[in-house]
Amino acid sequence: SCISMGTAVADAVQATGIEGLDALTVGVIPPNPSELLGSERMKNILQRAKEEYDYVLIDTPPVMPVTDALIVSRFVDGVILTIASGEVKVEMARDVKNQLVHAGANILGVVLNKVRSEHHGYGYGYYYYYGNDGEKHKKSK
C-alpha cells in the first residue's frame, strides 16, 4: 500500500510484539508489482525506512520465477541469498548469483537452510563452501 496507494511508511508499519522489531507487509498485490518496485516511490520508501530504522530487511520471492528480487537488489546495500539444501542444485545457485551480480547486486553471503543433520551435538567434521572462483572447498571445523 505504501508504493501503490501512497500510504506513509509510518502509517503502514505494524508492531510485531517483539521489542525493536516492526514489520511492513505486502498487502494487496497490484497488477504491476515489478513496475512499482522499480519506481521512484519505492526508492523514497526505502530511504525513509533507512532513516527510521537501524536495519531494513526485505524478503523477496525467489529470483528465478520472478524479477522482483533483481529489481530490489539495485536499491539495497546488500543481498543475502537463502538456498534450500537438497532442493536447489549448485548450477541453479550459480545462475542466480550471476543474475544478481549482472543486476548490480552486492551479495553479502548465503544462508543454507533445510540442512539435514545426521549427527546431533558437537564433534569433528568438515564443511564445504563455494569460493568466489565457483570452486568447492573443504574446511575442517
Distances (CA, A) of 44 to 27, 38, 95, 100, 116: 18, 11, 30, 22, 41
Task: Tell me the per-residue pLDDT of 99-125, one tens digit each, with 9 for 90 and over.
Answer: 899 988 999 999 988 887 765 555 455
Q: Is residue 79 part of a domain?
A: yes
- Residue span of the structural domain in which 98 resides: 59-116
CB of 138 closer than 8 Å to CB of 128: yes
47 found inside a domain: yes
Residues 38 and 77 in one domain: no
Strands 126-130 and 107-113: unpaired
pLDDT, one tens digit per residue, over 88-101 is 888 988 998 998 99
Judgement on whether residues 23 and 41 belong to the same structural domain of the protein? yes
Q: Does 125 or 65 have the greater pLDDT score?
A: 65
Specify the DSSP element, H or E, that contains 136: strand 136-140
The answer to the question of residue 121 being in a domain is: no
Residue 126 has pLDDT above 60, yes or no: no
Is residue 49 domain-shared with residue 66, that is, in the same domain?
A: no
Q: How many domains does the chain have?
A: 2
Helices (H), 14-136: 33-37, 40-52, 68-73, 90-102
Does residue 107 sit in helix, strand or coil? strand
The pTM for the full model equals 0.65
